[in-house]
């Protein structure tokens, strides 16, 4: 299979879906002439024109609300918000309207729209441009929240999101855009929304992660196998709502130990939900307490050395794994 970047996988999927369905259109700030801040929409304006690739004003609340209305009328908008930090300006349209319309209208109207947006830290973009708000949206019934970690998953899940009849928040970590992976050539494949994947099998311990942290988890798992002979299983959530609890629970039942890795803040986050799920559904199988590795609870610093200290690292994860395994092997 060809090896392409995460960015290329997204671009190819948008192009293929625009060709496949005339009701699909893109909208967002600088996605047309400028080809997007991260060049995910490169070449699409030239191919499909300004009615299908729409540059919007700097008015997130306005164009997200417009997308929800267009979706109610049968179109399939794919909205790019330049960074998840700017999604705060549109949160009312997302949470109070797009997420609730199908329910409040008794199923008479659907909102088949996708909101793509990058998030995450590590790029020295400072506190207001380096955040992880996925827990906010995963909390909301009526939304689907996807967090793919590989080019393969990004392509298959974006295609599923665009074809889905519910509003989908599609979160792309900034640090993943240049990562590479195998993707089928001309493969019209989809990945079902709500299915986690065991990215690496193991028997000693389970790491549960998502988005960029899955890449970190896989790297640590490989290193510890080579250096210490540890057999570590890595579960990639891929979808935060709906959440694939059986895959998490079955993995922990097999390994008897779990470490949860997330880039966002520790309190009230995705990791807390996963820990509760394991405690409720796999408590009798645990040989050690569930541990969590997350970002330090501060606004992310601009200074590189402080930013690095605030984000989860390979060493943080290794330390948590060793602590979990002490006295249990």
| pLDDT per residue as tens digits for the range 295-315 | 999 999 999 999 999 999 999
Residue 298 exposed, middle or buried by CB count within 10 Å (0-12, 13-18, 19+)? exposed
- For residue 206, is pLDDT > 70? yes
Contacts of 153 (CB under 8 A, 6+ apart): 191, 197, 236, 238
Kindly indicate the confidence band of residue 1, based on its pLDDT and cuts at 50, 70 and 90. confident
Domains of the chain (ranges; CATH) run 3-182 (3.40.50.970), 197-325 (3.40.50.920)
- What's the average model confidence in pLDDT over 124-139? 95
Q: How many CA atoms lie within 13 A of 70 on its CB side?
A: 19
* pLDDT for position 327: 59
Phi–psi pair at 208, nearest 5 degrees: -105, 125
Kindly indicate the confidence band of residue 328, based on its pLDDT and cuts at 50, 70 and 90. low
Q: Which of 129, 233, 262, 307 is catalytic?
A: 129
Kindly indicate the confidence band of residue 185, based on its pLDDT and cuts at 50, 70 and 90. confident
What percent of the chain is predicted at pLDDT more than 90? 97
- For residue 329, is pLDDT > 60? no
Other Cβ atoms less than 10 A from the Cβ of 227: the count is 9
Q: DSSP label at 203?
A: S
Q: What is the tens place of the pLDDT at every residue in 269-303?
A: 999 999 999 999 999 999 999 999 999 999 999 99
* pLDDT for position 59: 97
Contacts of 11 (CB under 8 A, 6+ apart): 39, 40, 41, 42, 43, 44
- What's the average model confidence in pLDDT over 197-204? 98
- For residue 100, is pLDDT > 70? yes
- What's the average model confidence in pLDDT over 175-190? 92
- For residue 117, is pLDDT > 80? yes
The yes-or-no answer on residue 129 being catalytic is yes
Residue 62 structure tokens: 């306005």
- For residue 187, is pLDDT > 90? no
Q: Which of 16, 17, 35, 60 is catalytic?
A: 60
């Amino acid at each position: 299979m060809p090896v392409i970047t995460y960015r290329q996988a997204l671009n190819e999927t948008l192009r293929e879906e625009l060709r496949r369905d005339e009701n699909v259109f893109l909208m967002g700030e600088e996605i047309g002439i400028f080809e997007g801040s991260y060049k995910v929409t490169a070449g699409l304006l030239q191919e499909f024109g300004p009615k299908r690739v729409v540059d919007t004003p700097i008015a997130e609340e306005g164009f997200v609300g417009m997308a929800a209305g267009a979706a109610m009328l049968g179109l399939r908008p794919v909205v790019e918000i330049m960074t998840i930090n700017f999604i705060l300006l549109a949160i009312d349209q997302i949470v109070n309207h797009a997420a609730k319309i199908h329910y409040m209208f008794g199923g008479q109207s659907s909102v088949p729209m996708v909101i793509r947006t990058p998030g995450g830290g590590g790029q020295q973009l400072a506190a207001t441009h380096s955040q992880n708000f996925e827990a906010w949206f995963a909390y909301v019934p009526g939304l689907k929240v996807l967090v793919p970690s590989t080019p393969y998953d990004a392509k298959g899940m974006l295609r599923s999101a665009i074809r889905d009849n519910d509003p989908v928040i599609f979160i792309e970590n900034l640090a993943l855009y240049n990562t590479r992976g195998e993707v089928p050539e001309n493969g019209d494949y989809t990945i079902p929304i709500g299915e986690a994947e065991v990215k690496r099998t193991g028997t000693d311990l389970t790491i549960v992660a998502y988005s960029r942290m899955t890449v970190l988890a896989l790297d640590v798992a490989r290193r510890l196998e080579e250096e210490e002979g540890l057999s570590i299983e890595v579960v990639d959530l891929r979808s935060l709502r709906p959440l694939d609890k059986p895959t998490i629970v079955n993995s922990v039942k097999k390994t008897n130990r779990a470490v949860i890795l997330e880039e966002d803040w520790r309190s009230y986050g995705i990791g807390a939900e996963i820990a509760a799920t394991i405690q409720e559904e796999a408590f009798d199988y645990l040989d050690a307490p569930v541990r969590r590795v997350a970002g330090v609870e501060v606004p992310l610093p601009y200074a590189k050395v402080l930013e690095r200290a605030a984000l989860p690292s390979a060493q943080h994860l290794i330390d948590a794994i060793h602590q979990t395994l002490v006295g249990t092997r």
